[in-house]
């Protein structure tokens, strides 16, 4: 079997190489290089990553190719992120990086020549009814299926996730025992290349700064100023610079450059039970084809270990989720990721369009 491994130089993908070699494979290794734009907001860990990847390749006597996807990344993922932020939405660059870069451009460049592409993502592939499905990882804290929820059938059917059945601690133990050069490296944030840069600096470079008002939603009282709605996201608590909190961002008016906040953990303004999704994407296929009415599912609206129970409803051309529990900070632009009731299969995802607040007072932006 002909296998390509996406090797980042981190502990996870290094263990993937180790495990595949132990099983008798001789995978080809690929390091994806995304250079910094021409600005100075990327740290030097990228160089260290490549050194680590080279050390792993040497250790196992495998070939390592550096694939430069710099242009593709900035043209696709960075442009997508800026476009969303400009429109007051909360982008998810990790989701787009997996879909377009790690498994999109890479597949066209090199992956196409291999039977499988293996990565250190915490996820699984599951064969069911003759089709390959994206499955959740054994380790709920590390599960990364939410970042993979926009990949397509060609991608999922060619992917291998050798770490899906392991807990993170087991992976570390394997790395230590095998004396892998990367064994003691700290965990990356689980975020894509954009995670290596200062996000505010990145946004500032493209959208600049523009002072606007921070207003208390319930009273209309002006509490302070901010430097542009694009630096803030729905559900955000930190970085508002207001005393007497906690304060949460609950609305954004992009036309007026106003941020609405609400005070206290229990404030109803920051919660909702429902949201709609647009452009819903099924990874393998729609398992509920022809099913009428409410479908019991679990779902996530952000990268957390918890799967939330709810119902999926067809809503015109799109889909809507009605949650069993109150949801904090439903951020339009993020993905609603849908799983089967047992949270075993990741079915697909759609971009959150708007939330239906419990007590709407202002039109949503
Ligand atoms: N620069 C890169 N080049 C090649 N593959 C990469 C690169 N960055 C990430 N990957 C692949 O995507 C997987 C998930 O990446 P993520 O950024 O979430 O890191 P991670 O889970 O901490 O994994 P690792 O410890 O291997 O860095 C990695 O395990 C690796 O297979």
Residues 2 and 59 in one domain: yes
Where do runs of H (alpha helix) occur along the chain? Answer: 11-22, 45-60, 70-73, 79-86, 93-96, 106-109, 153-158, 168-177, 199-207
- Ligand 1: does its nearest atom lie under 6 Å from the Cβ of 119? yes
The band of 38, judged by pLDDT with boundaries at 50, 70 and 90, is low
Regarding whether 88 and 17 lie in a shared domain, the answer is yes
Pocket probe for ligand 1: among 3, 5, 6, the residue whose CB has the most ligand atoms within 8 Å is: 6
Q: Are residues 90 and 231 in the same domain?
A: no
Residue with tokens 């996870």: 12
| 245 in a structural domain | yes
The pLDDT of residue 33 is above 70 = yes
pLDDT (0 to 100) of residue 8 = 92
Backbone φ and ψ for 151, nearest 5 degrees, come out as -75, 160
Rounded Cα distance between 13 and 21, Å, is 12
Same domain, 172 and 236: no
**CA of residue 256 relative to chain centroid, distance:** 29
> Which range of residues forms the domain containing residue 17?
1-119+161-176
Ligand 1 centroid to 87 CA: how many Å? 29
Q: Whose alpha carbon is nearest atom 22 of ligand 1?
A: 188
For residues 58 and 170, state if they share a domain. Answer: yes
Return the CATH number at 72: 3.40.50.620
Say whether pLDDT at 123 is over 90. Answer: yes
Predicted complex ipTM: 0.97
Q: For residue 98, is it within any domain? A: yes
- Examine residue 299 and state whether it is found in any structural domain, yes or no: no
- pLDDT, one tens digit per residue, over 263-296 is 877 677 667 899 999 999 999 999 999 888 999 9
Q: Which residues contact 53 (CB under 8 A, 6 or more apart)?
A: 7, 8, 9, 29, 31, 64
For residue 201, being part of any structural domain is answered with no
Q: How far is CA 19 from CA 14, 24, 104, 163, 167, in A?
A: 9, 9, 25, 9, 14
Q: Identify whether residues 171 and 215 lie together within a single domain.
A: no
Whether residue 91 sits in one domain with residue 14: yes
Q: Rounded to an integer, what distance in angstroms lies between the CA atom of residue 286 and that of residue 274?
A: 21
Final residue in a domain of this structure, among 222, 237, 261 = 261
| Domain limit, last residue, from 246, 261, 276 | 261
Q: Which helix (H) or strand (E) holds 224?
A: strand 222-226
- pLDDT above 70 for 209: yes
7 marked as binding residue: yes
Residue 245 has pLDDT above 80, yes or no: no
The total number of structural domains that make up the chain: 2
Report percent pLDDT > 70 for the chain.
90
Q: Is 12 annotated as a binding residue?
A: yes
Ligand 1 atom 31 nearest Cα: 119
- For residue 258 and ligand 1, the question of a CB distance below 6 A is answered with no
C-alpha 115 chain-centroid distance = 26
Same domain? For 168 and 231 the reply is: no
Res 49 pLDDT > 50:
yes
Which sequence positions are flagged as catalytic?
97, 192
Same domain? For 101 and 235 the reply is no
Residues 172 and 229 in one domain: no
Q: Is residue 169 part of a domain?
A: yes
Average pLDDT score over the chain: 90
The CATH number assigned to the domain holding 248 equals: 2.30.30.280
- The confidence score (pLDDT) of residue 256 equals 94
Single pTM value for the model: 0.90
- Residue 233 resides in a domain: yes
Q: How far is the CA of 327 from the centre of ligand 1 (A)?
A: 30
Q: Same structural domain for residues 97 and 215?
A: no
77 falls within a domain: yes
Same domain, 4 and 83: yes
**249 belongs to a structural domain:** yes
- 12 Cβ below 6 A of ligand 1: yes
In this predicted structure, the answer to whether residue 361 has a pLDDT above a threshold of 60 is no
Sheet strands (E) in 112-207: 116-118, 124-128, 131-135, 159-160
Last residue of a domain, one of 261, 284, 303: 261
What is the rounded radius of gyration, in angstroms, for the C-alpha atoms of the chain?
Answer: 21
């Amino acid at each position: 079997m002909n296998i390509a491994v996406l090797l980042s130089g981190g502990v996870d993908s290094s263990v993937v190489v180790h495990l595949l070699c132990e099983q008798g494979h001789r995978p080809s290794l690929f390091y994806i290089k995304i250079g910094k734009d021409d600005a100075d907001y990327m740290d030097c860990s990228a160089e260290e990553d490549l050194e680590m990847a080279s050390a792993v390749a040497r250790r196992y006597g495998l070939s390592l190719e550096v694939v430069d996807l710099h242009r593709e990344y900035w043209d696709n993922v960075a442009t997508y992120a800026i476009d969303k932020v400009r429109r007051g939405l909360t982008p998810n660059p990790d989701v787009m990086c997996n879909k377009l870069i790690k498994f999109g451009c890479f597949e066209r460049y090199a992956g196409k020549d291999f039977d499988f592409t293996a990565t250190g993502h915490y996820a699984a592939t599951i064969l069911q009814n003759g089709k390959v499905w994206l499955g959740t990882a054994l380790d709920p804290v590390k599960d990364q299926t939410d970042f993979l929820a926009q990949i397509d059938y060609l991608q999922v059917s060619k992917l291998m996730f050798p770490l899906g059945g392991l807990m993170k601690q087991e992976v570390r133990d394997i790395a230590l025992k095998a004396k892998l050069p990367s064994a003691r490296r700290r965990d990356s944030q689980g975020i894509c290349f954009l995670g290596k840069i200062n996000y505010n600096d990145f946004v500032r470079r493209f959208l600049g700064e523009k002072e606007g008002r921070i207003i208390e939603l319930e009273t209309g009282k002006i509490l302070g100023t901010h430097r542009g709605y694009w630096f803030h996201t729905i559900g955000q608590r930190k970085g508002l610079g207001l005393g007497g909190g906690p304060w949460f961002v609950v609305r954004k008016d992009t036309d007026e450059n106003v941020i609405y906040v609400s005070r206290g953990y229990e404030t109803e303004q920051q919660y909702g039970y429902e949201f709609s999704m647009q452009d819903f994407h099924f990874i393998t296929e729609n398992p509920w084809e022809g099913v009428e009415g409410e479908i019991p599912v679990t779902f996530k609206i952000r990268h957390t270990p918890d799967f939330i129970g709810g119902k999926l409803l067809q809503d015109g051309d799109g889909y809507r989720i009605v949650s069993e529990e109150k949801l904090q900070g439903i951020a339009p632009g993020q993905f609603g990721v849908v799983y089967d009731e047992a949270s075993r299969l990741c079915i697909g995802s759609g971009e959150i369009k708007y939330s239906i607040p419990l007590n709407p007072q202002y039109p949503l932006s």
